[in-house]
């Protein structure tokens, strides 16, 4: 039975999963975990997703790109860091693996998705 428990853990996002990948729990919101100042390529490597799996967010502010990706049983948001040197539409910025971003996830049971 121990093997079954381990397989289930491999399909779910846990606090341990997040901390092993560098996420930090928010001091003001205990459900929010963030991985700040990483490139999209590094986030992809740490979380084992393809950049092609990113889906554009809706109602993004013009100075940031926000895209989502489902990892295991939660949806993660990637938020581009605002560009200091350029002004304008940032949509699509997260398709570049060198773009610096913050990765966010909320561990709220109601937001949990059924693992595939």
Residues forming beta bridges with residue 104, ordered by sequence position: 34, 77
For 10-34, what is the mean pLDDT?
95
Q: How far is CA 84 from CA 48, 87, 88, 94, 104, in A?
A: 29, 8, 11, 16, 21
Query: Does this model's pTM top 0.85?
Result: no
Q: Give the model confidence (pLDDT) of 34-53 as tens digits.
A: 999 999 999 999 999 999 99
Select the more confidently predicted residue: 66 or 88: 66
Average pLDDT over residues 71-80: 94
């Amino acid at each position: 039975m121990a093997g079954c428990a381990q397989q289930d853990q491999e399909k779910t996002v846990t606090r341990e999963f997040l901390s092993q990948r560098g996420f930090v729990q928010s001091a003001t919101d205990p459900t929010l975990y963030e991985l700040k100042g990483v490139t999209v390529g590094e986030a992809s490597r740490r979380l084992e997703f393809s950049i092609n799996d990113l889906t554009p967010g809706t109602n993004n502010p013009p100075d940031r790109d926000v895209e989502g990706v489902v990892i295991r049983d939660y949806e993660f948001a990637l938020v581009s860091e605002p560009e200091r040197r350029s002004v304008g539409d940032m949509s699509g910025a997260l398709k570049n693996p060198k773009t610096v971003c913050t990765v966010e996830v909320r561990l709220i049971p109601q937001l949990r998705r059924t693992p595939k």
